[in-house]
Structure 1
């Protein structure tokens, strides 16, 4: 993707993804929001800076958690293998 996610909305963030990890391996899974570099986060929240080119955004809609699980499976089996 060429542009940063914009607008309001909840992000599901995964970290520590090893492309060679076995299915079902542990990973860090967080919820967050996008802030511009000029906006300060509230003191009680952590800030994770993600460099350009180190993230991908997938928009979803539908019932939770099924939609999240379907999207996660599709990104792991389809998107990531074709986008090293």
Structure 2
């Protein structure tokens, strides 16, 4: 699983400019989500999910190609595809 920092760096590389994820506290995240319009109960769930994923990341799944008949794409390839579609 990619960390938030790895996701930000990858997006930045595709865009051709530095981009970094800023680490914020649980309290800051919990306050920011309702400020962005999410109901507080949703914010609590999202914060809990983020912390759980950081504590115990999901394993990398194998067998994708056998299931869908093509190789999996990297996150970078996905970002490049999304950027091309948006242009």
TM-score (norm 2): 0.26
Q: Judging by fraction of residues, say which structure has more strand.
A: 1
Higher relative contact order (CA 8 A, sep 6+): 2
Please identify the structure whose Cα radius of gyration is greater: 2
- With normalisation by structure 1, the TM-score equals 0.27
